[in-house]
């Protein structure tokens, strides 16, 4: 089972065993992850050293749109 | 009777309003719609905003909509939302559709709804160039049923770095950030979907929705 990586409306499948910081680098462009985006694993805040296990859902929290 | 306050009649608000009013007008709903905006339509707004003449956005919008939707009652409030004006513009029982273009006003709205009102539904939208999101806050009987829109996950609203329009001094212009009408439209649609779900279906089971017009993905979630 893979891990799920989410940012805003979009998601990708990732590989278990990777650290949050590594995933952030790998998926930065395709998911448009901001440098200062907070990371949540299964809804709980984690730091960049957290290592993902099978079934985890990692969300990089996207900021609210500021314009309108 | 529904008391609907639409704050901001620019990119999102001017797109949201005709659809909202058409739905309410033809459904026989007893509704009062107040449009709050201190800004004016200018020619440069034509790329993204729907208006029939130049002038204050609240007044121009009310003039147009009231001529088309005779079953609804409209009020124009040609002023910006501030700490002071919130006290007389907003009240218990309001359904607030926030279409503002800055986080400072979102923070003001968030705090006012969460701390000063006992009964309110706040649906707040915002966009970047090709994506955006909405947030929903509901307070009933004095209890917050979900997180305020300024919360620990949205520090950009908790600690806004921008200014509200009324804080800008003479000669101080808001930095022009390119926007796309399709992003405004996508966010307006999410807001209307949430409005319908909250009041005509089973109620919103989520308090945030993200959308991306490039991938055409949307994702609703609860925090």
Residue by residue, pLDDT tens for chain B (223 residues) are 999 999 999 999 999 999 999 999 999 999 999 999 999 999 999 999 999 999 999 999 999 999 999 999 999 999 999 999 999 999 999 999 999 999 999 999 999 999 999 999 999 999 999 999 999 999 999 999 999 999 999 999 999 999 889 887 655 655 678 999 999 999 999 999 999 999 999 999 999 999 999 999 999 999 9
- Whether chain A has a CB inside 8 Å of the CB on B189: the answer is no
Closest listed residue to residue B37, CA positions, set B76, B3, B72: B76
Helix (H, G, I), strand (E, B) or coil at B173: coil
What domains can you pick out in chain B, each with its CATH number?
2-221 (3.40.50.720)
What domains can you pick out in chain A, each with its CATH number?
3-60 (3.10.20.30)
Q: Do A68 and B125 touch (CB under 8 A)?
A: yes
Give the tokens for residue B15: 């797109």
Contacts of A65 in chain B (CB under 8 A): 125-128, 131-133, 183, 187
Contacts of B153 in chain A (CB under 8 A): 38, 61
Helix (H, G, I), strand (E, B) or coil at A40: strand
Query: What pTM was estimated for this model as a whole?
Result: 0.96
**Check: complex ipTM more than 0.90:** yes
- The Cα B73–Cα B100 span in angstroms is 22
Residue B20 has phi, psi (to 5 degrees) of: -60, -45
Contacts of B128 in chain A (CB under 8 A): 65-67
Helices B13-26 & B57-68, crossing angle to 10 degrees?
A: 30
Helix (H, G, I), strand (E, B) or coil at B76: strand
- The Cα B176–Cα B166 span in angstroms is 17
Closest listed residue to residue B193, CA positions, set B216, A67, B185: B185
- Whether chain A has a CB inside 8 Å of the CB on B151: the answer is no
Q: Do B215 and A9 touch (CB under 8 A)?
A: yes
**B140-162 burial, b if ≥16 CB within 10 A, otherwise e?**
eeeeeebbbbbbebbebbbebeb
Interface residues from chain A to B (CB-CB < 8 Å):
6, 8-11, 32, 38, 43, 61-68
- The gap from C-alpha A6 to its chain's centroid, in whole angstroms, comes to 5
Helix (H, G, I), strand (E, B) or coil at B62: helix
- The Cα B96–Cα B151 span in angstroms is 18
Task: Give the A:B interface size as CB pairs under 8 Å.
Answer: 75
């Amino acid at each position: 089972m893979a891990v799920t990586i989410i940012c805003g409306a979009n998601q990708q499948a990732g590989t278990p065993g990777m650290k949050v910081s590594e995933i952030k680098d790998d998926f930065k462009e395709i998911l448009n992850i901001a440098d200062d985006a907070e990371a949540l694993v299964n809804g709980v805040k984690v730091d960049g050293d957290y290592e993902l296990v099978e079934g985890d859902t990692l969300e990089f929290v996207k900021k609210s749109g500021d314009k309108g | 009777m529904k008391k609907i306050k639409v704050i901001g009649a620019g990119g999102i608000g001017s797109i949201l309003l005709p659809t909202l009013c058409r739905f309410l007008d033809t459904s026989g709903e007893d509704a009062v719609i107040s449009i709050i905006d201190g800004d004016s339509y200018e020619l440069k707004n034509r790329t993204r905003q729907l208006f029939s003449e130049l002038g204050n956005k609240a007044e121009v919008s009310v003039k147009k909509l009231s001529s088309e939707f005779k079953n609804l009652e409209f009020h124009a409030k040609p002023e910006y939302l501030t700490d002071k004006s919130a006290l007389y513009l907003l009240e218990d029982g309001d359904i607030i559709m926030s279409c503002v273009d800055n986080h400072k006003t979102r923070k003001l709205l968030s705090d006012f709804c969460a701390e000063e009102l006992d009964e309110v539904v706040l649906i707040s939208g915002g966009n970047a160039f090709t994506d955006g999101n909405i947030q929903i806050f509901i307070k009933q009987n004095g209890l917050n049923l979900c997180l305020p829109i300024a919360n620990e996950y949205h520090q950009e609203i908790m600690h806004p770095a921008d200014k509200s329009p009324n804080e800008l001094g003479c000669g101080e212009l808001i930095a022009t950030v390119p926007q796309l009408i399709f992003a405004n439209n996508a966010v307006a649609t999410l807001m209307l979907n949430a409005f319908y779900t909250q009041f005509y279906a089973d109620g919103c089971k989520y308090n945030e929705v993200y959308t991306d017009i490039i991938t055409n993905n949307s994702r609703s979630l609860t925090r």
